[in-house]
Amino acid sequence: MTEVLFYHLERASLESVLPGLLQKTLERGWKAVVRCGSRETVQRLDEILWTYDDASFLPHAADKERAADQPVYLTEGEERPNGADLLFLVDNAAVDAAAINGLVRCVTIFDGGDDKAVADARLLWKAVKDAGHDATYWKQSPQGRWEKQA
């Protein structure tokens, strides 16, 4: 059973949330694939992961040739060339609930201001629950902390 986490963005942007989640992933010794909804998002996140913090960066690749050697791989495809333990879904990227079997976690980060993203997250919630996965829903408090809602 894969743990599936739903992060509902209302007060923060993907660009401000994703680096921290990836940092925690690497601290646990896990590898991740970040599946994006478009190539443009891959390119934007590639730049952000190099520059989000003046004191550090997140080692990653955005092309298949170097992906196997990196703990984080950015793609708009379905491949996992780095043997990822976690799959992050961003920018309305989709996954079939059966395709996450064998992962430690699947994390979907969706924009609460995007009606399609919210509807897609609800459909994914139902699909992962029906597939027997453990799903949790996280929302930001007014103070900006993540709080488990369901």
Which of 54-63, 76-85, 112-121 has the lowest average pLDDT?
54-63
State pLDDT tens for residues 5-40: 999 999 899 999 999 999 999 999 999 999 999 999
H or E element at residue 81:
none
> The pTM is what?
0.95
Tokens (6 digits) for 140: 């930001």
For domain 3-148, give the CATH superfamily. Answer: DNA polymerase III subunit chi (3.40.50.10110)
- Residue type (1 letter), 119: A
57 pLDDT higher than 90: no
The pLDDT, as a whole number, for residue 97 is 94
The mean pLDDT value for 113-125 works out to 96
144 pLDDT higher than 90: no
Tell me how far CA of residue 134 lies from CA of 85, 86, 100, 114, 131, in angstroms: 16, 14, 12, 25, 9
**Angle in degrees, CA 10, 85, 101, rounded to 5:** 90
User: Which residue has 């040739």 as its token pair?
Assistant: 65
Q: What's the rounded Cα separation, in Å, for the pair 144 and 11? A: 7
The full set of domain ranges for the chain reads 3-148
Residue 143 — very low, low, confident or very high, per pLDDT cuts 50/70/90?
confident
